[in-house]
Chain A
């Protein structure tokens, strides 16, 4: 029986895709995610957590969390993902299943503002220092504006801002 059939029997599978011959993508719900990860780890042999990633779908008002697992015997990767409400991004930690999840979740908390309940170190700073704006990896954070305001911009001797000119010219030329 195929992996997807076995998963469908037990959990709610919203979407399934075989991207490559060794990469599956499964979309599930918030409720079923941790049981599915546990099932994949203990019963299907996906014993390694490679990465926890996150995507901001600002148009739909959702965050996406993606968990990438690896099976050392069949050499397959699987991406398990689900959508989280953007207004109230609360989720649970999985660091008891995989110790490296603690650091990944810490990064996501810092860069994205997702709250992982039960993670002991998520409030510690990992990458940024004394950050006081909204989490920077969210798509509504304007990094160019922030950089201009905070770090300034170098004026050339002639008073023309060369970089801005070039990028404006380039954008105009692209629009044509």
Chain B
């Protein structure tokens, strides 16, 4: 650090940071010359606690690993246990899970869409985004009884069947959201300030994507069609008809475009799922979950969250508790390895949009 440079901490208490984390910057004028991410403010030792709990008692824990999008965690953990224990789940359960995952993705994306505008000082879409997200949270409340932490997906299927008339309510909510999206576009996408600021901001070199393990919308904004839903389909995604969305710009504007188009994709997928939903059982009979022992084995299950590839590395040893569960959140790479390199050379005012565009979710970095 030379005398011309200023050391500045953004976070943990800062309105522009994406959660309880902190970024340490060295500034020369208002250009960043060095960046370092500090995490650990939300470390609750989930992985250690899971080693002490029987399998079914871990479900309330896993959904708290990423707060805005908890269903990805539940689904991953349940699917890993099913794979290790050799349980087949009914067809309807797969479709209901896919519906829940897509609804959860959509609510996160809508909130994000408002959030990136908020990071540039446009506070109207923030209010809209959080308000419109409540249409989906109300659906979740009817389905599972809770707004945020659902604990709805469990090994063997899902906890309850869809209530009567739920499909129509989902479709009505989709219509409602779709009707509002042009207003968002008008205020965000067609805004000259947003275009001027985001186009060409924080260009990611294409070589970094595979080498660093960048996944999800950030990789797709660089032109790499990486989507776990397509690459190794889980649940009912292999029976759905959709294309992977890519953009070529590598910058924050392309990440915004990818996610904007994913909102449309999610709505389309939800309509397809409702259309194709089969009838039948929603839960297989499990052995008594209090005595449930899973034979020894190891596996890595993954799924596509809004932020990228979410993975669970699970090792069992034949007892009634897991030997090891390691959660791979996409933000670990995006928030530490990528952000530290990407922020160098940027303007201090652009830190908030870049962090929001990478969609860094601190609790999944430190678990």
Contacts A50-B328, A53-B326, A103-B332 known; A137 to B47 CB distance under 8 Å? Answer: yes
Majority-rule SS of B interface residues? mixed
- Number of residues in A with C-beta < 8 Å to the partner? 39
Q: Which residues of A contact B47 (CB under 8 A)?
A: 137
Contact with A along B215-237 (1 / 0, CB 8 A): 00000000010100001100000
How far does the alpha carbon of A50 sit from the alpha carbon of B336 in the complex, in Å?
A: 14
B324 at the interface (CB under 8 A from A): yes
**Contact at A53–B324, with CB atoms within 8 Å?**
yes
Contacts A68-B300, A143-B52 known; A22 to B45 CB distance under 8 Å? Answer: no
Contacts A99-B212, A103-B332 known; A128 to B43 CB distance under 8 Å? Answer: yes
Which of chain B's residues has its CB closest to A144's CB?
Answer: B52
**Contact at B224–A50, with CB atoms within 8 Å?**
no
Which of chain A's residues has its CB closest to B341's CB?
Answer: A99
Q: Which of A31-39, A71-79, A84-92, A154-162 contacts B (4 or more CB under 8 A)?
A: A71-79
A25 at the interface (CB under 8 A from B): yes
How far does the alpha carbon of A154 sit from the alpha carbon of B239 in the complex, in Å?
A: 52
Q: Which residues of A contact B49 (CB under 8 A)?
A: 143
Contact with A along B314-342 (1 / 0, CB 8 A): 01000000011010100011001100010
Q: Which residues of A contact B315 (CB under 8 A)?
A: 55
Q: Which residues of B contact A99 (CB under 8 A)?
A: 211-212, 337, 341
**Contact at A103–B83, with CB atoms within 8 Å?**
no
Q: Which residues of B contact A98 (CB under 8 A)?
A: 211-213
Nearest CB in chain A: distance from B31 CB, A? 23
Taking a contact as CB atoms closer than 8 A, the residue among B48, B52, B226, B290 that contacts A72 in the complex is B226
Which of chain B's residues has its CB closest to A124's CB?
Answer: B36
Interface residues of A in 103-136 (CB under 8 A from B): 103-104, 125-129, 136
Best-surrounded residue of A70, A128, A136 (most CB of chain B within 10 A): A70
Q: Which residues of B contact A128 (CB under 8 A)?
A: 40, 43
Q: Which residues of A contact B186 (CB under 8 A)?
A: none
- By a beta-carbon cutoff of 8 Å, the part of chain B in contact with chain A is 39-40, 43, 45, 47-49, 51-52, 83, 210-213, 224, 226, 231-232, 290-291, 297-300, 302, 309, 311, 313, 315, 323-324, 326, 328, 332-333, 336-337, 341, 366
* Extra contacts besides A50-B311, A143-B52 (4): CB < 8 Å: A23-B299, A100-B333, A100-B337, A128-B43
